[in-house]
């Protein structure tokens, strides 16, 4: 018999008839439904059927979606739902998740979905959990990526919602993935350093990767290293690349590259900067900026430029929180920002 899943702040329980009003309101919010597999208006009669089906199904079964209501522990306020569909006699599963717009930005989708994933993998026969989403649904992508899901495929024109035909992103996590992800280091490292990229580091640096949803903001390291070997003039001025590997407690965790402005006489530019997906959210980014600033100051400069793509998953909060200020310039769709390092 299913028992509610309890996380730090949430309870995932079987739906009841009194969930009707919250379910209808959530499904009919255009912001919530934008990338989902239903169309608006979503009728109340449909909600009643969903709740009746849930009441008649005490636990998930193969090839049929099974929904849980998500509510807060302290106030029992309904904030969303999660769903699961079992496959292969319960040995695999697919999940979905929805949070009401008023509760976005609190980490509830991550917490609720994480609780569901933990519960599913508590069954030793479960080998895999999958999720599919619209390629533009970056918030949803960030939820599964933070849980360790891997982007496995991109199918074109494969999904229909009403009259709209879209692509689909496929994510998955195996039991082995899950165990490795849970065992990865999550605490701040004791030591962070920038190391010259020698021949034996080239392939390991290239193997580092961001999450799929971040690829629109960060070039692959192979491209960055290629551009470092054949730098194109920037703004009509020569570029002098300074690529470095980021090492934390002896492990390779990222890549950073500056344009030193040695030949142009301009400002140094933070050209590329990435932290591998397995080492994000450890406070490494700010530590690297500290090291970069020390290097730029040692070169005798008093300003440092960067540019970034705005949006979900952008490094913008890191840069603005560190003290970079937008200059008002937009370069190839990226916001330029500048950091003052002291009096010239």
Residue 303: strand pairing partners: 340
Q: What does the block give as tokens for 291?
A: 């090291």
- How far apart (Å, rounded) are the C-alpha atoms in residues 3 and 122? 13
pTM: 0.94
Per-residue pLDDT, 4: 97
Helix axes 199-207, 221-229, angle to 10 degrees: 140
Could you please state the CATH topology (level 3) that the domain comprising 5-183 is classified under.
Answer: Aminopeptidase (3.40.630)
Q: Tell how strand 92-99 and strand 78-87 pair up.
A: antiparallel
Helix axes 108-121, 175-183, angle to 10 degrees: 120
Burial class (CB in 10 A: 0-12, 13-18, 19+), 94: middle
pLDDT at 18 over 80: yes
CA 243 to chain CA centroid, Å, is: 25
Q: Structurally, what CATH architecture does the domain formed by 192-340 represent?
A: 3-Layer(aba) Sandwich (3.40)
Contact criterion met (CB below 8 Å) for 5 and 12: yes
Please confirm whether the linkage preceding 82 is cis (ω < 30° from 0): no
Per-residue pLDDT, 273: 98
The predicted model gives 110-139 an average pLDDT of 97
Of 167, 148, 84, the C-alpha closest to 120 is: 84
Cα-trace Rg, the chain: 23
The CATH 3.40.630.30 portion of the chain extends over 5-183, 192-340
**List of long-range contacts for 183-189, beta carbons under 8 Å, 24+ apart:** 184/278, 184/279, 185/249, 185/251, 185/279, 185/282, 186/281, 186/282, 187/282, 188/282, 188/283, 188/284, 189/248, 189/249, 189/253, 189/282, 189/283, 189/284, 189/287
| Percent of the chain clearing pLDDT 70 (strictly above) | 99
Q: Sheet holding 334-340: strands in order across?
A: 192-196, 241-248, 251-259, 269-275, 303-308, 334-340, 325-331
- How far apart (Å, rounded) are the C-alpha atoms in residues 239 and 142? 34
Task: Quick: pLDDT tens for 163-175.
Answer: 999 999 999 999 9
Contact criterion met (CB below 8 Å) for 107 and 8: no
The predicted model gives 37-56 an average pLDDT of 92
Of 89, 28, 37, the C-alpha closest to 63 is: 89
pLDDT at 343 over 70: no
Residue 340: strand pairing partners: 303
Task: Quick: pLDDT tens for 67-120.
Answer: 999 999 999 999 999 999 999 999 999 999 999 999 999 999 999 999 999 999
Of 251, 249, 270, the C-alpha closest to 259 is: 270
Name the band, by pLDDT with cuts 50, 70 and 90, for residue 25: very high
The predicted model gives 294-298 an average pLDDT of 96
């Amino acid at each position: 018999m299913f028992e509610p899943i309890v996380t730090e702040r949430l309870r995932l329980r079987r739906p009841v008839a009194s969930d009707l009003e919250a379910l209808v309101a959530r499904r009919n919010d255009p912001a919530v439904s934008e990338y989902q597999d239903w169309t608006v208006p979503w009728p109340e009669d449909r909600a009643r059927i969903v709740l009746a089906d849930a009441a008649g199904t005490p636990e998930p079964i193969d090839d049929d979606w099974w929904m849980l209501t998500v509510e807060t522990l302290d106030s029992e306020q309904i904030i969303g739902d999660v769903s699961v569909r079992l496959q292969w006699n319960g040995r695999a599963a697919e999940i979905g998740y929805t949070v009401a717009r008023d509760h976005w930005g609190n980490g509830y989708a991550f917490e609720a979905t994480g609780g569901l994933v933990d519960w599913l993998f508590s069954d030793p026969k479960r080998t895999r959990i999958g999720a599919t989403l619209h390629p533009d649904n970056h918030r949803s992508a960030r939820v599964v990526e933070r849980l360790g899901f891997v982007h496995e495929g991109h199918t074109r024109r494969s999904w229909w919602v009403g009259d709209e035909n879209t692509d689909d992103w496929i994510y998955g996590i195996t039991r082995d993935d899950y165990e490795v992800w849970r065992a990865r280091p999550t605490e701040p490292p004791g030591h962070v350093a920038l190391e010259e990229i020698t021949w034996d580091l080239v392939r390991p640096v290239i193997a580092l990767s961001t999450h799929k949803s971040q690829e629109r903001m960060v070039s692959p390291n192979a491209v960055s290293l290629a551009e470092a070997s054949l730098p194109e003039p920037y703004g009509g001025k020569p570029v002098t690349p300074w690529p470095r590997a980021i090492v934390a407690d002896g492990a390779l965790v990222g890549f950073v590259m500056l344009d030193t402005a040695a030949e142009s006489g301009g400002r140094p530019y933070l050209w590329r900067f990435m932290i591998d997906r397995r080492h994000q959210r450890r406070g490494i980014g700010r530590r690297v900026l500290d090291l970069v600033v020390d290097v730029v100051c040692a070169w005798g400069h008093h300003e440092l430029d960067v540019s970034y793509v705005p949006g979900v998953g952008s490094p913008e909060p890191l840069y603005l929180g560190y003290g970079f200020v937008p200059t008002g310039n937009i370069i190839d769709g990226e916001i330029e920002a500048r950091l003052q390092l002291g009096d010239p």
